[in-house]
Structures are given as structure tokens and as C-alpha cells.
Structure 1
């Protein structure tokens, strides 16, 4: 592999610039931390594909307990990634963060057809 013509001092300056140009590194680290849990990521992908799904629906689809799904949803709601809407006796969950929505598309998340 060829090494670029930058010298080590230039590389160091570019590295500093890369970090400086992203002013909210801690904000992004928190987002990635929430996505680092495979169950939360699976829940987000399922809600993205099936908006309005219930806790029971998520639990069945993901082979998780309702308690585990509810716990994850509480955390995601506390970060404003998910919103809930009452539908009679059911609580329906929706993805509510455009950045997360875009990130899910970036990893291959899709919408339902039809």
C-alpha cells in the first residue's frame, strides 16, 4: 500500500482537524453507545420496518421477553429516539429521530413494501 505524501506533522494536523470539525463528539459517542447493544439495534430496525408495532409484537418478532423490550424502549424514549402513541388498549411505538432513521438506512434498514 502506498503511503500518502503527507509527512507526520501534516498527518497530526489533519487528525486534530478531523476531531475539531466534529464539535459534538460526546453527543455522537452517546448515540453510538445506544446503538452498540444488539437488542436495542434490533428493536430499532424492527420499528423502522414496522412502525406502530407494540411491545408484544416486538417481543414475538425478536424472540425477547416483553420486559426486556419495554426496558429498551424506555431507554430509547428517554433519548427521544422513539415515541409512543396510544391506540385503544395498545401502545404503539415509532422511530422518532431523523438521524437514527438515516443511520438505520446506512446499515441496510429498510421500510415495508406496500
Structure 2
């Protein structure tokens, strides 16, 4: 059981080799936290709808996303603010219009399966 941390080494296991495999599968705790954060963002139906629209159609403005999702403009803006802060989407300004797109490759890969 070479992968078992010292603070858990004294605990009894049934299938020690599988415990090591499970620890390896979990990997770095920071990576797990990052994915949990991504899943938290995706767990909200409105944010997921926005991401699916952006992923499948390309860059869209807030007002267009509001029409597409049935949300109001302030709700779309708030959701995009959270997604932008997490690095999932980015906005590109063209004159007075900002169009958003999905920039997180891992999130795009998840959205491919939705």
C-alpha cells in the first residue's frame, strides 16, 4: 500500500491494491477541487443552458442569450459574471456589444456529452 498517506496507513483495508488504485485515480486534491467547482457551475440549469447555447452556436450577446434561454438580461449578466470569474467564458467586445464564448476546454469537452 505504497500510496496510502501516513495518516491513514494504520487503517485496515480489504483490497489494499485497489485502495492504492483508488488513491491514484483521485489524484491531486487541488485538481479534484477545481473539477468540483466546474461541476458546481454546471449544476445550475440556467448556467448550463447558457453554456450549451454558447457551445453549440458560438459567441452570443447577453440580450440574445436572454431570448434563447428565456431568462431576463440581468440574470444572464449575473450568470455570465460567475462563469467569467471562473474562467469558463470570455467576452469579446465589438463596439458596444460584448459577445461571450466558452473558453474552458475541459468544460467544452463535458458539454460535448450533454
TM range (shorter): 0.7 to 0.9
Q: Secondary structure at the match of 2:112?
A: helix
Which protein has greater RCO, CA pairs closer than 8 Å, 6+ apart? 1
Could you list the runs of 5+ residues in structure 1 that have no partner in the other structure? 1-6, 108-114
Distance 1:75 1:86, change over 3 A: same
**Superposition deviation, residue 15 in structure 1:** 2.9
Could you list the runs of 5+ residues in structure 2 that have no partner in the other structure? 1-12
Q: 2:38 aligns with which of 31, 41, 51?
A: 31
Indicate whether 1:9 and 2:15 are aligned: yes
**Superposition deviation, residue 104 in structure 1:** 0.6
Q: 2:62 aligns with which of 38, 55, 61?
A: 55
Q: 1:79 aligns with which of 86, 89, 111?
A: 86
Q: Secondary structure at the match of 1:64?
A: coil
Per-residue deviation, residues 17-37 of structure 1 (Å, max 9, x unmatched): 322377611111111111111
Per-residue deviation, residues 26-65 of structure 1 (Å, max 9, x unmatched): 1111111111111111000001122121100000111001
Structure 1-normalised TM-score? 0.78
Structure 2-normalised TM-score? 0.78
